[in-house]
């Protein structure tokens, strides 16, 4: 089970890299679009439309990573004052509600894709993109998010039932500000190091 989660985490990270690469690529395309428009007074167009697809695809691929890294924000004003067992129960409850939302999004995302696919819908733009393509990639991200949420919920439930509270905390606990910071600091320190030997 843990091995599957590790694999899922690695896959989610690749998804985020790919998403980030798409965003950088879109930045270049937008830059090119501006230059072409300014210099040649030519409406090359399409950059905005394609960037929209990039946003949808890259953010849907990032949902699972955000979940695994516990980056989805939770209000922990009350949470931090509760005993650890209650926190663990809330962690599982949070995952359940998240699963409901993820499954619903995937289901409705499927409907959107299915309809575009059947009707062969095209965007009402100059490129007339067949919408089923970007929607399929978006749907993959949503479905992966739902799948990972399910896996995480199963693992957390198992840990809760067997009384392994530490594991629930580790995979599903709310990140307190402190934890965030330690990671932020760690990465800042790593970045600062090469700066030390600068003249």
Instruction: Name residues whose C-beta falls within 8 Å of residue 51's C-beta, 6 or more positions apart in sequence.
Output: 26, 29, 30
Residue closer to other proteins, measured from CB, 4 or 28:
28
End-to-end CA distance of the chain: 50
Mask 162-181, x = binds other proteins (CB under 8 A)?
------------x--xx-xx
Strand partners, 122: 130
Distances (CA, A) of 177 to 56, 57, 156: 29, 29, 22
Distinct helix (H) and strand (E) counts, the chain: 6, 0
Q: Which stretch binds other proteins (CB under 8 A): 3-11, 153-161, 162-170, 190-198?
A: 190-198
Is 13 a binder of other proteins (CB under 8 A)? yes
Segment 15 to 74, residues that bind other proteins, using CB under 8 A:
15-17, 19-21, 23-24, 26-28, 30-31, 33-34, 38, 47-49, 51-56, 58-63, 65-66, 69, 71-74
Residue closer to other proteins, measured from CB, 59 or 164:
59
Residue closer to other proteins, measured from CB, 20 or 163:
20
Segment 65 to 124, residues that bind other proteins, using CB under 8 A:
65-66, 69, 71-79, 90, 93-94, 97-98, 100-101, 104-105, 108-112
Contact assessment for residue 46 and residue 30, using Cβ atoms and an 8 Å cutoff: no
Residue closer to other proteins, measured from CB, 79 or 154:
79
Contact assessment for residue 95 and residue 153, using Cβ atoms and an 8 Å cutoff: yes
Query: Min. distance of Cβ 71 from other proteins in angstroms?
Result: 5
Instruction: Name residues whose C-beta falls within 8 Å of residue 39's C-beta, 6 or more positions apart in sequence.
Output: none
Is 4 a binder of other proteins (CB under 8 A)? no
């Amino acid at each position: 089970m843990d091995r599957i989660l590790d694999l899922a985490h690695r896959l989610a990270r690749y998804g985020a890299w790919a998403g980030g690469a798409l965003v950088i690529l879109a930045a270049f395309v937008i830059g090119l679009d501006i230059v072409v428009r300014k210099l040649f007074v030519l409406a090359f167009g399409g950059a905005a439309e394609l960037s929209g697809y990039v946003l949808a695809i890259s953010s849907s691929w990032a949902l699972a990573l955000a979940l695994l890294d516990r980056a989805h924000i939770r209000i922990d004003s009350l949470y931090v004052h509760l005993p650890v067992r209650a926190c663990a129960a809330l962690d599982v409850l949070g995952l359940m509600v998240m699963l409901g939302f993820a499954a619903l999004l995937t289901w409705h995302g499927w409907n959107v894709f299915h309809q575009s696919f059947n009707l062969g819908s095209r965007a009402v733009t100059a490129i007339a993109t067949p919408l089923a393509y970007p929607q399929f990639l978006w749907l993959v991200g949503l479905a992966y998010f739902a799948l990972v949420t399910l896996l995480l919920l199963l693992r957390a439930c198992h840990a809760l039932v067997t009384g392994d509270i530490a594991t629930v905390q580790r995979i599903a606990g709310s990140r307190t500000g402190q934890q965030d910071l330690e990671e932020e600091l760690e990465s800042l320190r790593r970045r600062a190091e090469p700066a030390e030997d600068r003249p």
